[in-house]
Chain A
Amino acid sequence: MSADLALAPAGFWRRAVFSTDHKVIGRQFLWLGLVFLAVAGALAMLIRWQLAHPGIPVPVVGGVIFPASGGVVSPAAYTALFTMHGTIMIFFALTPILIGGFGNFCLPLMIGARDMAFPSLNMLSYWTMFAATAVLTASFFAPLGPPAAGWTSYPTLSTAVGAPGVAQTMWVVAIYLNGASSVMGAVNYITTVIRLRAPGMTFFRLPLTVWGIWLASILNALFVPVLAAGAVLLFFDRVFGTRFFVAGSAIKPGGDPVLYQHLFWIFGHPEVYILILPAWGIAGDLLAFFARKPAYGYKVTVWALIAIVVLSGVVYGHHMFVSGMSPLLGEGFMILTMIISVPSIVLGVGWLGTLWRGAIRFTTPMLFALGLVTVFGVGGFTGLFLADVLSDVYLHDTFFVVGHFHLTMSAAVLLGAFAAIYFWFPKMFGRMLNEPLGKLHFALTLTTVLVTFGLQLVLGYAGMQRRLADPSAYAFLRPLMPLNRVVSTAAFVMGAGQILFVVNFFFSLFWGPKAPANPWEVGTLEWTVSSPPPHHNFDVIPRVFAGPHELGNPVMKEARGRDYQVQSEELPG
């Protein structure tokens, strides 16, 4: 206790705002991510309103948000809505929650370290992210309207040719700052896991959560700089009048808009895995914890994750099958992309094997992990439709793509994030979340996710393009409008269902029952310290003797009367 007092900074600013404590920074990232999750979710509601009832004023809030058009989402406003929805969800909601929030909070605790390898860099990473969010938020109010070139911001639409307003420049700056924050975090996580593991914590004793976040960090460190390069060139094109991405003409030399697409997707495809890897890791741990069994084929699972990480860097071309790519490249990228299905199915076998003949406890985090597995299943299999050049040429830029990536990198990741929140909330805030409310939240979220994004697959299959402010402009899409309204209804219920989570979160934060050190009865190191943990995490750095999911060992049951072995205890006898 005295050591705790000696180490923890006393002042409010150093303790709660400009803290270098990974637990505080983790919570800061979580808050930031949740706030922007709400913002991006609200934008999605407006998008869905427009797709269900194009040209009809948005009820209640329409007059306030779109006063110029009498509450109607104008086509220009619609393009801004989907641009900001995508940008915020990916860069400012899901990434901060899982990698910034739980990466920071869990990594040192789970590997038995007192903090990150570079605590000051960690703080800088958060405040760089904060600056990025400030710039992006300001861009909403820029003259000529918010950024509207899509979250991919392809040139030349994103250059002065298609986006003369300052908002697009602010978007580029926000993305650059966000990338800088991610890379700082990534370097920190990579180093921390390599250098600060407790004695005995070998790589193959790391919880899968740590594996997921660590591998995602490696991808972050390798590929975010490629996006940053693209952002810098785009910034130059916009601000200094260079022509990296603006095509030339016979009298004016110029660059190639497709170059940006390469840079973007060299980053963009790994980004999918940057988002899903932590969620996969969390699901892998939670399934084992609540099936009360060791993770099935742990090493095979880890190698499958590594294989996916390697492959993720060489498949990005499937995003560009309709950009006039050479057939040779098309076939190459098609083969490489389809091979990802093999390690992916191996992951699936691991998850099912873990559940098989377990003693499954349906806690809220477990339900969300199971939801992730199912939702990712649909998303993963539909990926095969888009890996094939032949089917992709038809499905490219349709709602099939929208449904697919929402299931894989949004809904599955979001379910993973909720699983993580319900699981680690007691450790983070020292109080338990309400379980029945959590289960209701799960039921609403899972069912609406399936209807919303499942039916989007159907819309795309029927040929409906993405990013249309009014699909009924096309005769062949008019019969699909009823289906669009079903999707929107499901999305509205999904949005409303999140109120349950908000209520649960804030109520439990203040009035939830006090959390014991180990409420879930599992053996990873973060549960060996108090909830919330002391400033320095561990009084004595633990010594690790066992893997992360040593559950159901009969020897433990016999000697200690419980079914789990803590990683830092030796097997009796």
Chain B
Amino acid sequence: MLPVVALASLSAWTLALAPSLPRLLPFALVSPLPHDASAEGHHVDELLRYLTISTAACFGVLMSILLVALVFHRGRGRIARYTHGTRRRDRLAAVIAGAVVLFGIDAVALVRSSSALRASFWRYPDGDPLAFRVEVTGQQWAWNFRYPGADGVFNTPDDIVTLNDLRVPVDRPVYLQLTSKDVVHSLYLPNFRTKIDAIPGSVTRLWFEPRETGKFEIACAQHCGAWHYKMRAELTVQDGADLARWLQRAAEDAALRYEAADAEAHDGWAWTPAP
């Protein structure tokens, strides 16, 4: 019976470590989380860290009790304690465990989550004159980005439209509105800890604030067909002057490409503030 117990304990301890594996694995001496390049992403990372530690601790305690029982309370020779677990202290054990999880994990996570969401992720920069606005249209299997152009109004002849190439300024809120031409996609920014679905027939929104310049990956997170895995775009964060130069060139290109008769290309929409 000993090998079985040894195996059980080994497995149990592997399991005990599993929730905290993200932080323990040797290949990830640094956290396995992708580099965080956003102003708000640290809220997510801190919440993930708290959840990892608190759930691993709870799980470790439960597994230890399990292991002690498996090792010491086994065997046909023993006389099991005849109890239905209905005494006051048994009920108390359940209440304490419930309270630890409710107040120690749930409530803390809830408060952290809600406050970060209300303070940033859900507080769309509608009135912010600095907000850099882009309309995003997903399609099988690419991302179209539409900038309002010189007039600041979307779906006008001076719009700049790019394919799989999103360029935004550093240290300013980037405010995206999204829809899809065909199926549901999901714009996923791993380095900015956020994502939002792009849904045909409706407009969803998302904002983030890049903290550093550089190139980052934009992914599709929602299964959208055979070539879903190739629905990749590039996000370039630039400082204001570089971006202005690029926008100038892009505006000239867009003017050359503009075709008034091509109704399908005019897939922008009037910018709508968050409800």
Query: A residues touching B (Cβ–Cβ < 8 Å)?
Result: 74-76, 78-79, 148-150, 154-157, 161-162, 246-249, 254-258, 291-300, 322-324, 326-327, 330-331, 334-335, 338-339, 341-343, 345-346, 348-350, 352-362, 367, 370-371, 373-375, 377-378, 381-382, 384-385, 387-391, 393-394, 396-398, 439, 443, 446-447, 450-451, 454-455, 457-458, 461-463, 465-471, 473-476, 482-483, 551-554, 563
* Contact A327-B4, Cβ < 8 Å, known A297-B84, A455-B21: no
Contact A349 B79 (CB under 8 A): no
* Contact A359-B74, Cβ < 8 Å, known A293-B83, A296-B83, A382-B19: yes
Name the B residues within 8 Å of A385 (CB-CB): 48, 51, 55
Name the A residues within 8 Å of B106 (CB-CB): 338-339, 341-342, 384
Shortest C-beta distance, B20 to chain A (Å), equals: 10
Verify if B265 is at the interface (C-beta below 8 Å from A). Answer: no
A257 touches which one: B76, B121, B184, B191 (CB < 8 A)?
Answer: B184
- Bound-complex Cα distance A375 to B63 (A): 11
Verify if B223 is at the interface (C-beta below 8 Å from A). Answer: yes
Stretch touching chain A among B96-104, B236-244, B245-253, B254-262: B96-104
Contact B223 A79 (CB under 8 A): yes
Name the A residues within 8 Å of B182 (CB-CB): 156, 161-162
Name the A residues within 8 Å of B33 (CB-CB): 461-463
* Contact A357-B81, Cβ < 8 Å, known A79-B225, A79-B226, A156-B183: yes
* Contact A465-B76, Cβ < 8 Å, known A256-B202, A338-B109, A388-B51: no
- In chain B, positions 19-60 with a C-beta closer than 8 Å to chain A are 19, 21-22, 25, 27-28, 32-34, 43-44, 47-48, 51, 55-56, 58-59
**Minimal Cβ-Cβ distance residue in B for A338:** B106
Verify if B211 is at the interface (C-beta below 8 Å from A). Answer: no
Name the A residues within 8 Å of B93 (CB-CB): 349, 353
Can you report 7 residue pairs joining A to B where beta carbons are below 8 Å apart? Answer: A154-B183, A298-B85, A335-B110, A343-B98, A374-B63, A388-B113, A463-B33
- A to B contact number (C-beta, < 8 Å): 338
Stretch touching chain A among B128-136, B147-155, B162-170, B192-200: B192-200
* Contact A396-B195, Cβ < 8 Å, known A79-B223, A345-B101: yes
Query: B residues touching A (Cβ–Cβ < 8 Å)?
Result: 1, 4-5, 7-8, 11-12, 14-15, 18-19, 21-22, 25, 27-28, 32-34, 43-44, 47-48, 51, 55-56, 58-59, 62-63, 65-66, 69-70, 73-86, 90-91, 93-94, 97-98, 100-102, 105-106, 109-110, 112-114, 116-118, 121-122, 140, 182-184, 186, 188, 190-191, 193-197, 199-202, 204-205, 217, 219-230, 232, 275
Contact B66 A154 (CB under 8 A): no
Name the B residues within 8 Å of A254 (CB-CB): 201
- Bound-complex Cα distance A254 to B200 (A): 11
